[in-house]
Structure formats: structure tokens, C-alpha cells
A and B are shown apart, each in its own frame.
Chain A
Amino acid sequence: DVKVTQSSRYLVKRTGEKVFLECVQDMDHENMFWYRQDPGLGLRLIYFSYDVKMKEKGDIPEGYSVSREKKERFSLILESASTNQTSMYLCASSGQGAYYGYTFGSGTRLTVV
């Protein structure tokens, strides 16, 4: 089974801190995605990547950046954390082609105080 691992399950950070969320997948998937999940708002795409060093903005990229230096790892960076970035962050990966669904990690619940 594909495994997507997010480095932290719960994280508490202070306003203004730079925050790194890490995601690693073990099935050589080309595509990786970062979402945030908030009650009533569903899943909102922050950034995605189709290949190493490639990235594209999703629907809500403001205040975030990403890094994909290796195929298996996709990092989400909050440049200066703010309280409105308190959320559940989900990482997902998928194989090549539209047929493949996504495999999700367990999520990181980030609280910014």
C-alpha cells in the first residue's frame, strides 16, 4: 500500500514563526498536493507539484510556499504564521494520469497562537 507520512500530527506555533510541514510518500508518485481542511469549507488546495522542483499554485497559496527537492518529499512552508492559518493540513500523492485517485496522509493539525 502507498503510504503518505506527515511528520507531525499536532503542532503549536507562535504568530510570526516560520513553520515547516513535511510530507513523504513511498511509492514513487509524481504528483503531490497540500490542502487545508476547515469545517464547512471542505478541502482547499494550497499548492501542488507534478515533478521534482516543479510547483503550481492552488486556490489559496497566499502566505504559503512549497519545496520539492526530491521526488518523495513535499514540504509546505508558512513564511510567517498567522492565527488564520490554524487548520488541518493534508498532504496527498497520486500516480501519473487522471485515473489515479489520491492517497492522503493522516494530517497535521496546526494551531497558531
Chain B
Amino acid sequence: AQSVSQHNHHVILSEAASLELGCNYSYGGTVNLFWYVQYPGQHLQLLLKYFSGDPLVKGIKGFEAEFIKSKFSFNLRKPSVQWSDTAEYFCAVNGGGNNRKLIWGLGTSLAVNP
């Protein structure tokens, strides 16, 4: 069965620290990959996505993610976090073509201390 695994459930960092959140998926075919963010009290919003081309994708607010096909991974990174990055982060994947249903990871809660 298709699945998405986010290794870190809770992450606590100080401001200016570097961030890497792990995401691995199990899916046999072409994939589209997404990271979503949910700031406290706000709705889920798209951070970045990968569907083809350059495996290093850049998103909003200085985030980036690298798709490594051989490792079935799509890790999210940010060189220097800010207090405002405190949020829950979700990784999601769907198959290519006409497959519209996303498979979600359980999320990673990030707390950034000022």
C-alpha cells in the first residue's frame, strides 16, 4: 500500500538553526510530491511541490526540498529558521497521471525558540 513516512514528529530548534525534515514514501510509479504547512490557527497551505524536472525545488519563505528518487525521499530544508516558522509541516504524495488523491504523512510539529 502507498504510504508516506515523516520521521520527526516533534522538532525544537533555536532561531537561525538549520532545518531538515525527513519524508519518505512508498509508491511504485511516477509521483508528485508536496509539502504543506499549517501555522497555528491557520489553514493548510502549499509550501512547495515537485512533479518533474529539477529535483531541487524552491518554495515560499525560503524553504526548499530535494527529491531523491533512489531513496524515495523528499526532505524539506531551510538554512536558517525563524520564530515565525513555528508550524506543523505535512508531506504528501500522489501518483502521476490522473491520480488526484493525496497520501499524507502524519506531520511534523516544529517549534522555533526565539
Contact check, B100 vs A107: say whether CB atoms are below 8 A apart. Answer: no
Select which of A41, A45, A101 is within 8 A of B49 by beta carbon: A101
B residues 97-113 in Cβ contact with A at 8 Å? 97-102, 104-107
Which residues in A have their C-beta under 8 angstroms from that of B72?
A: none
Contact check, B105 vs A98: say whether CB atoms are below 8 A apart. Answer: no
Contact check, B97 vs A43: say whether CB atoms are below 8 A apart. Answer: no
How many of B's residues come within 8 Å of A, CB to CB? 25
B49 to chain A, nearest CB (A): 6
A residues 86-113 in Cβ contact with B at 8 Å? 90, 92, 94, 96-107
Q: Is B86 an interface residue (CB 8 A)?
A: no
A94 to chain B, nearest CB (A): 6
Select which of B95, B102, B106 is within 8 A of A102 by beta carbon: B102
> What mask results when residues 29 to 47 of chain B are scored 1 for a CB within 8 Å of chain A, else 0?
0001010100000111110
Contact check, A99 vs B106: say whether CB atoms are below 8 A apart. Answer: no
Contact check, B43 vs A43: say whether CB atoms are below 8 A apart. Answer: no
For the complex, what is the distance from the CA of A90 to the CA of B38, rounded to whole Å? 12
Which residues of A are in contact with B by a Cβ distance under 8 Å? 31, 40-43, 45, 48, 50, 90, 92, 94, 96-107
